[in-house]
Structure 1
Amino acid sequence: MAAGSPVSQRNGRATTARPGTVLQAATQADSVAATVGAVVTDFNALLAKLRTAGIIA
């Protein structure tokens, strides 16, 4: 949903208290991590992308 579209203007961003329109998250590559530390790095990158898109707080 493009910013400024009629639906995004009507619904606004989702919050923990009300539903709304959110953006699609950026692509996250499949993990090829071989260590726990690398998995943590990949997971944190995914969390950051979900937060930026407004999917999670």
Structure 2
Amino acid sequence: MDLIDQLEDRMERLLQRVSQLEEENSRLQSTLDTERQIKDDVLNRLDRLLKKIQEADI
């Protein structure tokens, strides 16, 4: 295998890896967005509960 073939193979592997990493990044970003939304929802619920407790003067 000559040098050009080796470079071509290496370049193809690198491009495949970049593509895989981009896909993984997209999935992770989506998961992070979902988790942030869940966290925000929980915090909002807790805030509402705390306000109810304060209003009840317990």
The structure with the larger Rg is: 2
TM-score (norm: length of structure 1): 0.36
TM-score (norm: length of structure 2): 0.36
Does 1 or 2 have the higher relative contact order (CA < 8 Å, sep 6+)?
1
Which is richer in helix?
2
